[in-house]
Structure 1
Amino acid sequence: MDKPGWQPPAWAFPAVWTPLYASIAWSAGHAVSRADGRRRRALMIGFGANLALNASWTWLFFGRRSPTAGVWGTVLLDASNLQLVRQVWRGDPKAAAALAPYAGWCLFATALSASLARRN
């Protein structure tokens, strides 16, 4: 596979994802614990859907061996991140701010996936 020169080394991905998943977990726990009723349910659905989209990228990109499918997966994940940050912000700005690095890394992943799709 032809990779762009700006792609991080392989070891960087687990080094980045570990704290990102921790911040997602903290944000979810913080936001959900401060919500109730419909809002709590909506947050749980939002976080669940977002993590399902996150997990689907691996299958789209590696399982299907399709950088193009990976791009579409990251675009959907970016849209979900935007919606999730907005949803969380309404009730818990600190928890929403904790999602910012995750959303930023996913935007980077979209650019990287697009570059890989174009090159391959």
Structure 2
Amino acid sequence: MPAALHVPERPALPRWLRLAAAIVPVAVTAAIGSAATQAEIPGWYAGLTKPSFNPPNWVFPVAWTVLYTMIAVSLWRLLGAMPRTGPSREGWWLALIAFLVQIALNAAWTPVFFTAHAIGTGLIVVAMLLVMVLWTIRLSWRFDRIAAWLLVPYAAWVAFATLLNAAILRLN
């Protein structure tokens, strides 16, 4: 008896809609971050005492450009992995909700830290962000391992940002 040929299902969302749904929240987050930091980098942030491991200012936009691209691709892949039916669909929705929560926390951190000058509250937000990114990786793994792996450098950067935020809080 011949083996059954498995033909993968088409994604539930059209490719262009998945692309927009992946790019828009990440682009909005990037825009919020950029707007919140522009005036604060040469003023308030420059006046803070920073630890010796604080990178030069030019590193941040370069790192975030690469990371935001990876985040958008990860979300695009996760959106394409949506099961049409079955019990795994609930798990996929949980992964998507976790993804959107971590994007919202990402968007919140910059205005909290830079605009409000709330270093302690920023530490709480970035620590929550780290937990949510790690949870998103875990939840996404089941549906698309490449999507999950694309978030690993982001998790590493957020872990570094958490350490940096904590050090800035301690020094100031």
Query: TM-score w.r.t. structure 2 length?
Result: 0.66
Paired with 2:166 and 2:158, the residues of 1 have a C-alpha distance of 12
**SS of residue in 2 equivalent to 1:8:** coil
* Cα displacement string for residues 23-47 of structure 1 (whole angstroms, at most 9, x for unaligned residues): 0110111122012243443333222
Residue of structure 2 in register with 1:84 after alignment: 136
Structure 2 contact 49–171 (Cα < 8 Å) conserved: yes
Cα distance in 2 for residues equivalent to 1:80 and 1:98: 15
Q: Matched residues in 2 for 1:22 and 1:45: separation?
A: 19
Instruction: Tell me which residue corresponds to 1:93.
Output: 145
CA contact (8 A) 2:54 2:164 kept: yes
In structure 2, the gaps of 5 or more residues are 1-47, 84-88
TM-score by length of 1: 0.94
**Aligned partner letter, 1:61:** F
Indicate conservation of the 8 Å contact 2:73/2:147, yes or no. yes
Larger radius of gyration: 2
More helix by share: 1
- 1:23 maps to what in 2? 70
For residue 43 of structure 1, the aligned residue among 53, 70, 95 is 95
Partners of 1:44 and 1:92 in 2: how far apart? 12
Amino acid of the structure 1 residue aligned with 2:107: A
Corresponding position of 2:79: 32
Unpaired runs of 5+ in structure 1?
Answer: none
Give per-residue Cα distances to partners, 1:33-68, cap 9 Å, x unaligned.
Answer: 012243443333222111100011112111220211
Q: Residues 67-114 of structure 1, C-alpha deviation per residue, up to 9 Å, x if partnerless? A: 111111111001101110000011111111110000000000000000
Match of 1:11 in 2: 58
